[in-house]
Structure 1
């Protein structure tokens, strides 16, 4: 089991910036109805522990000066939106005899014949699964072998996945995980390049010269007389 040593932290609020400048990551230890404990951990040591345990593995956390280690899971990470560096970590105390729920990432492996031979496009519907197990049994990841996707009609469902003994998937079993859709036709590709067709501009109909001369009225047919206003009134 991965081990990690942390220090108790006095600095809070804006003073935490000074901790980060010392290549330390501020964090908090909580859970199991015990009081929250602000801590700080060496950045390099934490990255190694996180690489080994991930967000679903158990870490034996040792607080400097304490006699015993505490089993924890990494409950949450905060990252800088620009640099992606870890800026804060939440350590959650766990009871190794009580089940926990965690999001376990999916990793897609293998090669699909529908993609390789037919030029299809792999479609993945899920990135992780919600799983329940004892802390020590929680997998770090679940592998999805896409070799079973041989045609465009094949679909991998959650019920098709293999998980370790003692681990329960909480998602609906008939949820699709991966499939392959046919490649786009040349016509579809060209249409996408051209973009949506522009609607033709609506032009006003040109008024014939004869209409302009007659105040916009249609000219009378040859051999007929246009009625005068007086005749209209009498009609």
Structure 2
């Protein structure tokens, strides 16, 4: 199951662009925690903590406990991060507060296992990945780190669908009503050589020019 990550935060008293700029001048990243039919909580984060989470990957499916000094500890998801257009540094973070008993919509990455022993790939096939992550509804306590798809028996032409996921952890996919495709083992692409160009028409043999000094053929003269 996904782990809960704790982030220490400072409290912010005011919202708005001016207050956010003032927070950035202090070297912090403004953040807001919203949802669960409660008033939004304003916070300021250490940019190193934000970058640490972004570098991990899969941060949208991680659970966070944001501990605001002098306030409450909020259990939430990191929903959106805004970046400076020039420096690419984070300039704002949105968290979604988790309501008790509610399912959350998250994107869970897909990992393919036993790719080195996959018979279809060993025969020259290619793994064609349709979805590298699957959006699902899950209980906050049961959000998986990743879904696993086993390739140990996949032959060329095999289609790997949602039903191929080894353990779905009680989640429900956002795509309903069909067993959607996640990946397939495609046949190798055969590149056919173009046929050689046909030779052009043979040029008519040119009449040889008469040798020097030779008499030119007589043209129809008068009879003597």
Structure 2: runs of 5 or more not aligned: 196-224
Residue number in structure 1 paired with 2:137: 132
Indicate if the aligned counterparts of 1:56 and 1:140 stay in contact, CA closer than 8 A.
Answer: yes
Provide the rounded CA distance (Å) in 2 between the counterparts of 1:29 and 1:162: 34
Q: Deviations over 1:80-109 (max 9, x none)?
A: 566554332111111242222222222333
Partner-residue secondary structure (3-state), 2:49:
helix
Task: State which of 57, 60, 73 in structure 1 corresponds to 2:65.
Answer: 60
Partner-residue secondary structure (3-state), 2:39:
strand
- Say if 2:173 is the partner of 1:152: no
Provide the rounded CA distance (Å) in 1 between the counterparts of 2:131 and 2:86: 26
Within-5 A mapping of 1:102-141:
102-111=106-115, 112-115=118-121, 117-141=122-146
Provide the rounded CA distance (Å) in 2 between the counterparts of 1:152 and 1:56: 32
Residue number in structure 2 paired with 1:181: 186
* Larger RCO, structure (CA 8 Å, separation 6 or more): 2
Indicate if the aligned counterparts of 1:55 and 1:140 stay in contact, CA closer than 8 A.
Answer: no
- Say if 2:133 is the partner of 1:90: no
Structure 1: runs of 5 or more not aligned: 192-235
Q: How many residues align?
A: 187
* Bigger share in helix: 1
After TM superposition, where is structure 1 displaced by more than 6 Å over at least 4 residues in a row?
none
Partner-residue secondary structure (3-state), 1:136:
helix
Q: Deviations over 1:152-172 (max 9, x none)?
A: 221111111133543222324
Q: Deviations over 1:130-171 (max 9, x none)?
A: 21122111113222233332x222111111113354322232
- Say if 2:105 is the partner of 1:101: yes
Residue number in structure 2 paired with 1:232: none
Instruction: Using structure 1 for the length normalisation, give the TM-score.
Output: 0.67
Shift of 1:113: 2.7
Within-5 A mapping of 1:66-81:
66=71, 68-80=72-84
Q: 1:107 to 1:165 in 2, by over 3 A?
A: closer
